[in-house]
Amino acid sequence: FEGVLKENYGLVDDAHADCCTHRQVSLLAIESIEKIRRLGFTIGPGDFAENLTSEGIDLVSLPIGTRLSIGKEIVLEITQIGKECHTGCAIYRQIGRCIMPKEGVFAQVIHGGLVRAGDSIKVLREGGDEHYRKVFHSAH
């Protein structure tokens, strides 16, 4: 999977991309998806309509304003953690719960570029502390 993240817009051709919102890109950790799988549901990356699914990073513990570097050129800034599920959420209707309200993370695109499954993610922190992880999935 691959896609283009456009600066101050979001994922090109994504229905939720918008220059006028702070929720240009949505992220969800594969570990969050695996919680639902352990309940016996067949669900996978992209089923929650997230743009990027990460692995090995606790996204919801990162403070608002944290910047993520993805691949060689993309920089995202976390703007929101969690969101209210909309009426008619397909996941909620199917299994009776959704993880996006607590574990979905949203970001603005500070610097765009091509994102591919397998790209590394750096969590940029003050003082140059960087933690490398991987993009597990990119879609939508």
pLDDT digits (tens, 9 = 90+) for 72-131: 999 999 998 877 666 656 666 666 666 666 788 999 999 999 999 999 998 986 434 454
Mean pLDDT of the chain: 81
What CA–CA distance (Å, rounded) separates 115 from 4?
A: 6
Domain count, the chain: 1
Quick one: average pLDDT of 18-38?
86
What CA–CA distance (Å, rounded) separates 87 from 84?
A: 9
The pTM for the full model equals 0.79
In the structure, how many helices (H) and strands (E) does the chain have? 3, 10
What CA–CA distance (Å, rounded) separates 36 from 6?
A: 31
CATH number at 40 reads 2.40.33.20
**Domain membership of residue 109 as a residue range:** 2-138
Start-to-end C-alpha separation, the chain: 9
